[in-house]
Structure 1
Amino acid sequence: MGRPVVAIVGRPNVGKSTLFNKLAGKRIAIVEDKPGVTRDRIYAEGEWLNKHFTMIDTGGIEPDTEDIILSQMRRQAEMAIETGDVILFIVDGKAGITPADREIAQMLRKSKKKVILVCNKIDTHLTPDTVYEFYELGMDELAVISAGQGLGLGDLLDMVIAHFPDDKDTEKDEDLMKVAVVGKPNAGKSSIINKILGENRVIVSDIAGTTRDAIDTPFQVGEDKYVFIDTAGLRKKNKINENIERYSVVRTLTAVERADVVIIMIDATEGITEQDTKIAGFAHNNGKAAIIAVNKWDLVDKEDKTYLQFENDIRRELSFMAYAPIIFLSAKTGQRVSKMLGMIKEVNESYNMRVSTGVLNDIIGRAVLMNQPPSDKGKRLKIYYATQVGVRPPKFVIFVNDKELMHFSYLRYLENQIRDSFEFKGTPIQFELNEKKGD
């Protein structure tokens, strides 16, 4: 019993992504007046009248093409149609019917799915006569909207939810693990997700920059629910030329912000680069749980100490992220990929872990006995007590006599003592100092 799926399909540049963003209530898909911008299926949660559903935006269907990217876009759209419970077939109400519209309509009729023909770009409450020619496409229902102006969307959503199958779950989902996969272009982000999912959900190609949007892909194993967010590879700023690439960087950073766990993909054939360090730093500064995944390990010529040397390089360059576990794998051969889900779950549990105030203060008390707090000009730091005030990431407040006396190295020592008792694997720990006047 899954969530109802609404797939948005149509030829390029008819306003699919604009509608998708409007219904999602936020800008997820890149919108640009240029065919082929949305290349993969992009997932988002939708809700109307307390009924929750999953929406899929797709790359525009080009019925006859030999272009490798366009042909894969078509396959992605076909997979969305196969998955969808309700299909929104978007056409351009101003342009009229095109041969591509007719071919897509034929494909949809063969699918036997519930299809709503959506006549977009009608920016007036008066329906022009040209709209009625679209009935020629043979669809049972027609909705007239302007995605850009937000006209007619309520009526469209009423039609959508009326066709949800009875056996689908429309209640709000809780306990999702949101996992963003980030890294340089061509590091293998999409390949890893496809390997974990066991199907080609995301377009994979040797052409750098294939993934332009941050793509949400729901996935469930037993009771564990995940959402994988594949992202466009982050390039150096001086290599970002076109507007779409600039948008993609913003999408990647936004994907990190809304994720719980960030998988930082490193290309083993290139080693850790300055760009990898910047990407990891963004995840760390946003307080996200993290896993460092070194991909293409099968392509590295190995000697006795290759593994240890690579790990030491990562720890040196990402010294601020010593808490993050490292896994060496290969998306191509599947080496160690099976361990990823367990590692994500473990890291997510640490990200949400709580320590009772009593146990926390026992740890702090022992730490102070073993190593006295610093002093300055005869005045010594006093730690009165500590308490955990938040999770995602775990956050602790320490009450002291004078915040200025707390040296960062002693705070790091206290963090290490806490981690010795509770590993907090893969998650940063945040501290806040409050002054409390004592005797």
Structure 2
Amino acid sequence: MKLAVIGTGYVGLVSGTGFSELGNDVICVDKIKEKIEQLNNNQIPIYEPGLEELVRKNREAGRLSFTTDLKAAVKASDLVFIAVGTPESPSGAADLSYVYGVAEEIGEALDHKYKVIVVKSTVPVGTSEEVERRILMKNPDANIDVCSVPEFLREGSAVHDTFHPDRIVIGARTEKAANLLVELHSPLTDKIITTDPRSSEMIKYASNAFLATKISFINEMANICDAYEADIQAVAKGMGLDHRIGPKFLNAGIGYGGSCFPKDVKALKHLAEEKNYHSKILQAVINVNDKQSDRMIEHFDDIFGDKVEGLTVGMLGLAFKPNTDDMREAPSLKIIPKLLERGVHVKAYDPIARDNAQSLLPQEVKIVGSLTEAIQDVDALFLVTEWEEFLSLSPAELKALMKQQVVIDGRNAFDRDALKQEGFIYRGIGRK
């Protein structure tokens, strides 16, 4: 099939590349000329393991191309995917200006040939209908079906998720459009759900909100474990063995971040409020997550008391999760200013997100270029992002580098017992 994918962020670039790998002809479109020039030189503007190799392979095979010419891409394609950002607006609602702007451009580019327009961006219920209205407003004679096919990619493993999806959700109002989208996705999985666009849009929001709820719940349990000196890892294991609960998303820590969960939970809450329904659960999920990163500061204060001014903290990790350079809603952005307020010096290291973090952090933060430099002569170590590189260090190696032996583990990733045997003061989340 011939596809156009509008937007070359995580979703658009990974999805478009994945479709080309399946043998389709894909044109990826973006307004940012510099980004398109980068991609045409096989330079990937985001960090995603395995993506650069796939882009290079499919460009060389002639199945994948990049352009700023939306009109030409639409005319050359049978299916047009909208994969632009839907950032959070000041009210908490999803900002749909990019989606609607693209819809109107598509309307101006269409001829009389039948095309399927696919909204892949995460959007509120009813957006696909508004996209169709805006396209027809620009081009009343357009021969189109507008569908919803939400993405379920995880940053850091998006390439793997593209080719090994748990399910494909297709929201279509006509059998013709649904059949085309089933044909496109059938090489990936036989777990394909077809429904109406409104339900498809809701499946995406409900899925992310449920996973965020699970994270906030286990973090609440971890905080209670701290109060009663129980071990959240044992608690989570015992819970996860119940098949009704399952073990995934039961890793206690300092909360969720990134480009999806924070904004999607808020957007769903706002969507409900537009219909005069106030979700107490969603509000609680947001409240717990907003405060969860404070647990590291609380442990730090508990250990050092009022003698923190002038101490140095080595912060391991800046990105919101491993295997990505994404700093959106990263817990490090909340923790670092609170340390600085206390007169604490901060040295930080991240193997990938260093450049992205530089402009987001106060100038007082020293972003260093190596793991050793981040650990050298610090009074306490904060593990914020559980990169594999950090976990490879032995307690003896840490001890030899650090000034004081204090580890505050925001991801419960270090070996607590091994650190204690080496004389460390160790604090995890729910492992007190």
Query: TM bucket by the smaller chain?
Result: under 0.3
Greater helix fraction, Structure 1 or Structure 2: 2
TM (normalized to structure 1)?
0.26
TM (normalized to structure 2)?
0.27
Greater strand fraction, Structure 1 or Structure 2: 1
Bigger Rg, structure 1 or 2: 1
